[in-house]
Amino acid sequence: MATKRWWRGAVIYQIYPRSFMDTNGDGVGDLPGIIDKLGHVASLGVDGIWISPFFKSPMADFGYDIADYRDVDPLFGTLADFDRLLAKAHSLGLKVMIDQVLSHCSAEHEWFRESRQSRDNPKADWFVWADAKPDGTAPNNWMSIFGGVAWRWEPRREQYYLHNFLAAQPDLNFHNPEVRKATLENVKFWADRGVDGFRLDAINFCFHDAQLRDNPAKPKELRVGRGFSADNPYAYQYHYHNNTQPENLAFLEELRALLDKYDDVAALGEISSEDSLATTAEYTARGRLHMGYSFELLTDDFSAGYIRGTVERLEAAMQEGWPCWAISNHDVQRAVTRWGRGDESAEFASQLVALVCSLRGSVCLYQGEELGLPEADVPYEALQDPYGKTFWPNFKGRDGCRTPVPWDGADGAGFTTGKPWLPIPDAHRALSVSEQDRKADSTLHRVRRFLAWRNTQPALREGGIRFVDAPEPVLAFVRETDADKLLVAFNLSADAVEWTPPAGLALQPIEGHGLLAGCAAGGKLRLPPRGVYYARVG
């Protein structure tokens, strides 16, 4: 069993391939583009990369609808390109984690093409099929995250099939042992190829309630979405039966047993359930996933109390596992816009990176966070995301966080010589990598300095965490190992604040993190707007 644990305390940089770097002028990023820009990623001081899906796909959900788990879509390149990418990343000291979408596949996958033909073919029971009710309506009241009922009629079988996401993403039937075996064989294909980890998309959706019981209604005042809008009918239910079933735990243990045959290959689960923190703790118990992350810090609530409460609830529940935190990804509004409420300064953007990287656990940073990119305003006529098209104008979808990385200030932002698949706003060109490289006080340089400094602080990578009482807007906690103890404090507001740390703490301020630092005098800690404070506790 692996013991090196590269992933523990790691900062993992998420790459969304469509929007990272295009090398052939078609306006869509590709694997050779990632290879070209890995030097930039390595310069940040991160430990590894997570690459969103690049497998063969009709792209109904931009790669999260996989038609062939073992090949690269020609849009992104070839298997040989992936092998070159893996070798280049490893030569730069970067681990490589890839997405695996196990709970569902594309309607164009050969498995589903066969399954939908009849009720008695070899793949007939590989997906979730059910008869209509006597009146012809769907088998139960389950809803799709992307809008509408979660069932689609198939005339060839005269049955409905389940799709928790798009109708083009049929759910696999994990109650069938052949499905579980085939799924693990696909994971093994990439582990054998040399990847260092797997980010498991929607991992709690693998199993469904075999009795197909209706989900109970949720009161209006509790319809708060995690990764989906509150006006989405999906928020109208408690999702007790269409995901997060107890049978999934045994499958996670099968998956872990497979990965334990390799040298330090990690599994990171994306978890969105009715109680995501409890599920994360359960899924990362001994013998299951190495790490789990949820949408709990991908919400609109930016307060010291909320962040503290979220972390403390997970810490209380997680007795054995290891958390992973993210404040931005390809599914939610960018953090500087979501939490900044108009403040998109370098001080704020770099503070957010420092905050998430100072919590106990590993971290996923989303491409563009190192630049402080705000959410792009994509007009309706340029929308690509089917989710946004369905819920426009109340919810504009996910395109605003998926626009291409600006490498320079040119028309194509150095991303492409063609027309980019999503428009690149002028505000992003002004924050390009080349522009920020020239400014010592840019978000990019602040993030580089901070991550380099973090790598010298064992307490921040692997230490425990306990929070210190502080009034809003101060978030304060102690990170500690047996040999080291740090006090960490953040002023989450745009105004200067004073705070009196607990008596008896002998504080030795630490420099070198490259952020806007507070200072202590007369027993009080003075924090500038968006300021931070790191001190060794004697």
Measure the CA–CA gap between 496 and 517, rounded to whole angstroms. 11
Measure the CA–CA gap between 416 and 26, rounded to whole angstroms. 7
519 touches 526 (CB < 8 A): yes
Residue 404 has what DSSP assignment?
P
Measure the CA–CA gap between 472 and 101, rounded to whole angstroms. 40
β-bridge partners, 172 = 127
> What backbone torsions phi and psi does residue 111 show, to the nearest 5 degrees?
-60, -45
> What backbone torsions phi and psi does residue 374 show, to the nearest 5 degrees?
-80, 170
Three-class DSSP category at 92: coil
Residue with tokens 């403040």: 343
The β-bridge relationship of strands 532-537 and 485-491 is antiparallel
Measure the CA–CA gap between 229 and 474, rounded to whole angstroms. 29
The single-letter code of the amino acid at 379 is P
Going by C-alpha positions, the residue among 154, 145, 129, 65 that lies closest to residue 102 is 65
Catalytic residue (one of 61, 65, 154, 270): 270
Sheet hosting strand 129-130, strand order edge to edge: 129-130, 159-162, 151-154
Measure the CA–CA gap between 511 and 450, rounded to whole angstroms. 10
Which tokens hold the place of 430?
Answer: 């002004």
Measure the CA–CA gap between 232 and 315, rounded to whole angstroms. 31
CB atoms within 10 A of CB 537: 17
Measure the CA–CA gap between 176 and 121, rounded to whole angstroms. 14
372 touches 346 (CB < 8 A): yes
Which tokens hold the place of 506?
Answer: 């002998």
Burial degree of 48 (CB within 10 A; 0-12, 13-18, 19+):
buried
CB atoms within 10 A of CB 523: 9
Q: Pinpoint the alpha helices (H) of 58-106.
A: 79-91
Examine the residue annotation and report whether 214 is marked as an active-site residue of this protein.
Answer: no
Catalytic residue (one of 73, 81, 99, 201): 201
- Quickly list DSSP for 232-297: SGGGGB--SSSS--TTHHHHHHHHHHHHTTSSS-EEEEEE-STTHHHHHHHHTSTTS-SEEEESTT
CA 290, 293, 299 angle in degrees (round to 5)? 175
Which tokens hold the place of 449?
Answer: 């300095």
Measure the CA–CA gap between 197 and 223, rounded to whole angstroms. 34
Examine the residue annotation and report whether 270 is marked as an active-site residue of this protein.
Answer: yes
The single-letter code of the amino acid at 126 is W
The catalytic residues are 201, 270
